[in-house]
């Protein structure tokens, strides 16, 4: 009778252990309510900072006149031989000075720090037109060498170029191939330098309200996104670190305990 009770208790314990070893939830937006809308904390556009690089092209109906407002074109050659043909050409970029300015042809010193691409485009065009330098000016501003980094438990970690005026944390995760099954979805870290200070933000991808209200939902240049490994991944760094949570381990352990109980209470 005692043997049966012991075996029954052991079986119940085994079932409890096995059923408790459930996989973590891997989905995003786990609390989303499709009947309501969510306010996004900010609609931030990429703003230029000191050290950023820009391409600014000015064009008009008179190419010779608009040429005065563009930096020299630099040629690239495929080889160093004398007969090498010009392969590509590009306009020299503007690097934003520490004081947030660039030196623009004819116009002189122009402050661009803290401005969006659209604002820079509008400002330069208005200066050209109001000064009667180029009445039909068309100004095109492009980002050069603006990046963010994705590290940790994603399929394709690396450095990604910013080519849009708005980039979100979801864009970054998508471009990096999504999180692996070992990545913590409720604790993604964003490191950001602001005004000479390093700041950190935690984002919960499983909570819609928390995600959209985060100051780091919209990324900035030089942001670093780090996806931490979950406890299972951390245990893998230790030999047999996950053995004690595997159902097979507990089944073997319970079977051994049951055999010993039979021998003891026989």
pTM above 0.85, yes or no: no
CATH of residue 85: 3.30.1950.10
Is residue 95 within 8 Å of 53, Cβ to Cβ? Answer: yes
Give the mean pLDDT of the chain: 80
How large is the average pLDDT for residues 153-159? 96
- Dump pLDDT digits (tens) for 88-113: 455 578 999 999 999 999 999 999 99
pLDDT at 80 over 60: no
121 Cβ neighbours under 8 A, 6+ residues apart = 139, 140, 141
Residue 43 inside a domain? The answer is no
Angle of the 247-265 helix axis to the 2-20 helix axis, nearest 10: 170
Residue 48 inside a domain? The answer is no
Q: Identify the domain containing residue 11 by its residue range.
A: 2-21+246-265
Is residue 3 within 8 Å of 266, Cβ to Cβ? Answer: yes
CATH of residue 192: 3.10.560.10
- Dump pLDDT digits (tens) for 199-244: 999 999 998 888 988 999 999 999 999 999 987 766 665 555 544 5
The pair of three-digit structure tokens given for residue 135, joined into one six-digit string: 């009445």
Number of structural domains (the chain) is 3
Least confident of 184-188, 214-218, 230-234, 255-259: 255-259
138 and 90 in a common domain: yes
Residue 92 inside a domain? The answer is yes
Q: Confidence class of residue 18 from pLDDT cuts 50, 70 and 90?
A: very low
First-last CA distance in the chain: 10
Last residue of a domain, which of 124, 144, 164? 144
107 and 67 in a common domain: yes
pLDDT at 51 over 70: yes
CA angle 183, 188, 189 (to 5 degrees): 130
- Dump pLDDT digits (tens) for 120-144: 999 999 999 999 899 899 999 999 9
The pair of three-digit structure tokens given for residue 248, joined into one six-digit string: 């097979």
Give strand pairing partners of 73. Answer: 91
pLDDT at 158 over 90: yes
């Amino acid at each position: 009778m005692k043997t049966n009770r012991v075996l029954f208790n052991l079986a119940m314990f085994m079932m409890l252990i096995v059923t408790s070893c459930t996989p973590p939830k891997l989905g995003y937006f786990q609390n989303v309510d499709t009947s309501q809308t969510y306010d996004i904390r900010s609609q931030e556009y990429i703003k230029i900072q000191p050290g950023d690089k820009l391409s600014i092209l000015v064009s008009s109906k008179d190419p010779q006149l608009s040429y005065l407002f563009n930096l020299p074109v630099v040629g690239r050659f495929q080889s160093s031989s004398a007969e090498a043909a010009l392969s590509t050409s590009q306009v020299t970029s503007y690097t934003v000075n520490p004081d947030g300015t660039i030196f623009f042809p004819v116009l002189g010193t122009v402050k661009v720090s803290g401005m969006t691409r659209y604002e820079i485009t509008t400002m330069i065009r208005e200066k050209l037109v109001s000064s009667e330098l180029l009445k039909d000016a068309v100004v095109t501003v492009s980002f050069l060498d603006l990046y963010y980094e994705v590290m940790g438990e994603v399929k394709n970690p690396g450095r990604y170029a910013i080519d849009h005026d708005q980039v979100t944390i979801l864009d970054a995760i998508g471009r990096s191939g999504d999180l692996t099954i070992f990545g913590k979805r409720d604790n993604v870290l964003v490191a950001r330098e602001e005004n000479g200070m390093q700041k950190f933000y935690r984002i919960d991808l499983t909570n819609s309200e928390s995600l959209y209200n985060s100051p780091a939902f919209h990324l900035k240049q030089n942001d670093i996104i780090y996806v931490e490994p979950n406890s299972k991944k951390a245990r893998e760094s230790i030999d047999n670190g996950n053995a004690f949570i595997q159902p097979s381990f507990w089944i073997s352990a319970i079977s051994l305990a049951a055999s010993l109980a039979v021998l003891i209470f026989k």
